[in-house]
Amino acid sequence: MNDARRGLREELAPAAVIENVQPRVDGGRFAAKRVVGEEVVVTADGFAHGHEKVACALRWRGPGQEEWNQAEMEALGNDRWQGAFTVDRIGPWQYAVSCWVDHLASWREGFLRRIDAADVRLAARMGAELVAQSAARAQGYERDQLSRLASQLSEEQEPVALRRLVNDEALFELARKHASRGGASETMEFPLTVERERARFSSWYELFPRSASDVPGKHGTFADVEERLDEIAAMGFNVVYLPPIHPIGREKRKGRNNVPLAEKGDVGSPWGIGASEGGHTAIHPDLGTLADFKHLVRGAKLRGMEIAIDIAFQVTPDHPWVKKHPQWFRKRPDGTVQYAENPPKKYEDIYPIDFDTADWQALWQELHDVVAFWAREGVEIFRVDNPHTKPFAFWEWMIAEIRREHPRAIFLSEAFTRPRVMHRLAKLGFSQSYTYFTWRVTREELTEYFTELSQDESREYFRPNCWPNTPDILPYHLQNAPPAMFRLRLLLAATLAANYGIYGPAYELAENRPRDPGTSEEYLDSEKYEVKHWDRKRADSLAPFITKVNAIRNAHAAMQSDWSLVFHPVDNPQLMCYSKRAGDDRILVAVNLDPKQAQAGWVTLDMEALGLNEHAAFTVVDELNGESYPWRGPRNFVMLDPNKTPAHVFSIKVG
């Protein structure tokens, strides 16, 4: 036998090919996203020339880890391979795939097809050389086993005995374990961002702190918000989002209903940031102090909730930056600062920041320092206002820098804009993204859009956060709409998406009055421009319904992610049916999209998606009211009266 060490030939020309690695975002330019505890399933095409068999391995490592973990991938057939690993901590991860010609497997496959005794013995000696090469790389007992196998394959034995040796799976896998991987092909190291679970599952409640007082006409404070935390927690929300909490500009301040000039006593818009008291790191004095804010943040955490704040990079004419850094703002031909406008509309109370300034590095650092300031004060969730109007490069840099020091930071992109722009922001690092759900109404629109969100490749990086309303948006279908429509839209947002939110008191009380009916989505007497008093004790409040829906979300793992969403056909276009599943936890939702009339129809269930036999008998339990119904097989009947409930939210009991 030839010297096995001379036959190792570690430096071989690459012979295997790797293609179509998934997940992969823009060829590996951007990171796919997961949360702690999730399994990352990686697939790839791996093959070589001729009839050579190949093997593939998955490599991965987490933050701060120098050594790579490695495991062989499973062959799925047709040159497709799959491997998986579980992420156990927050931060940047990497994974890669390698593929090499599996000379032992190729030899074994040919050996077992041979019939002639002399041919079998010759092939066995060829295999003995390969096994000897594996033995040379092994240690101790494993080396002894492989050396003995190599000797036995070299002996003049009967074909039956040789086949018995070759068919010993344990010995064969031991030989493969130590076989050469010379000439292996390697992919690039693909990035993976791992965040905490709240990036995947969250329920947001937005409220204006200045309207949190129970005393009509009194400006609310952080202490008033803290008084409301137990009530909000009891409703099942885990994120309390506050619009900007900074001093509000006085110069050019807008009045109620966005009139151009404020009257005495008008409080202005919280998004008009900056006054003599300070800018983006200052707190509006009527809300309290920084110590009061930190107390609120701690109070929320004690209740298993979080305070999210608004990051809005724009200023008022009296913001300190205007005088301190005039180079950060564009000038008009008359020498005055260029205010925001969308002709013919003018927003003279807002100065947009000029990101094209030659002083851009100092500007970027200042904006970074704003976010870092609040992160140091305990804020871990940031809702970012209009990020699509700022450069992409800035967000990629800023989010990465913040997460180096504050890896738990979550960023929500409020970008109601063109799809490619929204997706680019998500790729750059935003944890969650506002969506077009607000304007998707029909079954066709909802089915098409949420199929895209849950099944398209974009799900690797784009996490939807669905809002039926915002302080800026009273969509047309909610204008002068009955409470039934508000219940319907709430339920759709909360069950179609794992992340959702509402503009709180306004939604609880079904606020439906538009400023300009049919032509604008602005609220009449908008809270953006005045202190409101909300009578949350009203008998017609939707709070009990919202509480029930959130309780279902919090109790069922199936509701806490997006990828398992499946739509089931219904023969009535006013009805929609869909399901989510996490193992044996199955939730089936049947919705009446007509807020005025009862609708009935037959549902045809995708039994395979539900993990049920085609003709299985099972019980569906409506988690909204506790009623249960015996069902059998895929075809079943539903009837929904919107005056009683907009939907069935069924859990499925088998056996």
Q: Which residues are catalytic?
A: 385, 414
Q: Name the residue type at position 230.
A: D
Tokens 């041979």 sit on residue? 114
DSSP state letter for 179: S
Q: Name the residue type at position 321.
A: W
DSSP state letter for 218: P
Tokens 């309780």 sit on residue? 551
Burial of 39 by CB count in 10 Å (0-12 exposed, 13-18 middle, 19+ buried)?
exposed
What are the angstrom distances between the C-alpha of 136 and each of 8, 126, 175, 554?
Answer: 9, 16, 10, 56
Least Cα distance to 269 among 282, 292, 250 occurs for 250
Mutual orientation of helices 159-166 and 117-137 as an angle, nearest 10°?
30
Q: What is the CA radius of gyration of the chain?
A: 31
CA 340 to chain centre: 32
**Contact residues for 415 (Cβ-Cβ < 8 A; gap 6+):** 386, 387, 388, 421, 422, 425, 433, 434
Token couple for 609: 């998606």
**In sequence order, what E strands does 187-272 have?**
190-195, 202-206, 239-242
Distance between CA atoms of 511 and 538, rounded to whole angstroms? Answer: 13
What is the chain's length? Answer: 655
Q: Name the residue type at position 442.
A: T
Distance between CA atoms of 516 and 521, rounded to whole angstroms? Answer: 8
Q: Check if the beta carbon of residue 373 is closer than 8 Å to that of residue 281.
A: yes
Q: State the DSSP H helix or E strand holding residue 402, giving kind and residue range, or none if neither.
A: helix 392-405
Distance between CA atoms of 209 and 599, rounded to whole angstroms? Answer: 41
Phi, psi of 248 (to 5 degrees): -105, 130
What are the angstrom distances between the C-alpha of 462 and each of 69, 86, 396, 441?
Answer: 27, 20, 15, 21
Distance between CA atoms of 328 and 147, rounded to whole angstroms? Answer: 74
Long-range (24+ apart) CB contacts under 8 A made by 121-127 are 121/156, 121/157, 121/159, 121/162, 124/153, 124/154, 124/157, 124/162, 124/165, 124/166, 125/1, 125/153, 125/154, 127/153, 127/166
Q: Which residues pair with 346 in a beta bridge?
A: 341
What are the angstrom distances between the C-alpha of 165 and each of 176, 226, 385, 410?
Answer: 15, 73, 68, 57
Angle at 530 between CA 529 and CA 533, to 5 degrees: 145
Distance between CA atoms of 241 and 307, rounded to whole angstroms? Answer: 6
Distance between CA atoms of 562 and 38, rounded to whole angstroms? Answer: 13
Helices (H) and strands (E) in the chain, counts: 15, 30
Least Cα distance to 129 among 141, 109, 147 occurs for 147
Half-sphere exposure of 123 (CA within 13 A, CB side): 23
User: What does DSSP say about strands 39-48 and 69-72: parallel, antiparallel, or unpaired?
Assistant: unpaired
Distance between CA atoms of 134 and 130, rounded to whole angstroms? Answer: 7
Distance between CA atoms of 264 and 405, rounded to whole angstroms? Answer: 44
Q: Check if the beta carbon of residue 252 is closer than 8 Å to that of residue 316.
A: yes
